[in-house]
Structure 1
């Protein structure tokens, strides 16, 4: 029994082993680099994906109780944050708030 067979057996997802092997995921090292789109292409069900993702995360040193969901990144983390632009935007918003809102004008139906 290969290491992949034993890992898939422990996780209860042995039905996917042949599909993984056919697509070239023949070692645990290659599975560590698998992406969500790869799992989608392989037809892996969502619950089974979570089991595999948890096992991958644990092998990378992530605590078993830690969440697998990555927090949303802010614009500061993306490197797109520009303090000058945000200050200009705030000033424009203040000016726009002081201008009266246009009233709705009813348009008659054309016959």
Structure 2
């Protein structure tokens, strides 16, 4: 499941809501470019050293991440925060990463993605 929320929603509110529904919450900030954004996913989610830093590798590692059991055995929530600049300046890059997130969340019932467009 993926949802997009606008600038009126605070990150704290989104995290609290996800925690109330149970599960782990990871917040990944968007970068100003596709490469920077992919690097931030790798850093925050602790992808392996072999991570290829491209969209295919991002999809592979996110699938692996979604399949790992969370600490509490419940849902994993991923918040991709602050995407407005990337969406505005590099709409194709935003759409590419968003497509990967859509695919992974559609394939894993216990992986929920929230995109904060602010």
TM-score range for the pair, normalised by the shorter chain length: under 0.3
Q: Quick check: which one's strand share is greater?
A: 2
Q: Relative CO higher for 1 or 2, CA cutoff 8 Å, sep ≥ 6?
A: 2
Give the structure with the larger helix fraction: 1
TM-score by length of 1: 0.28
Query: What TM-score results when the alignment is normalised by the length of structure 2?
Result: 0.26
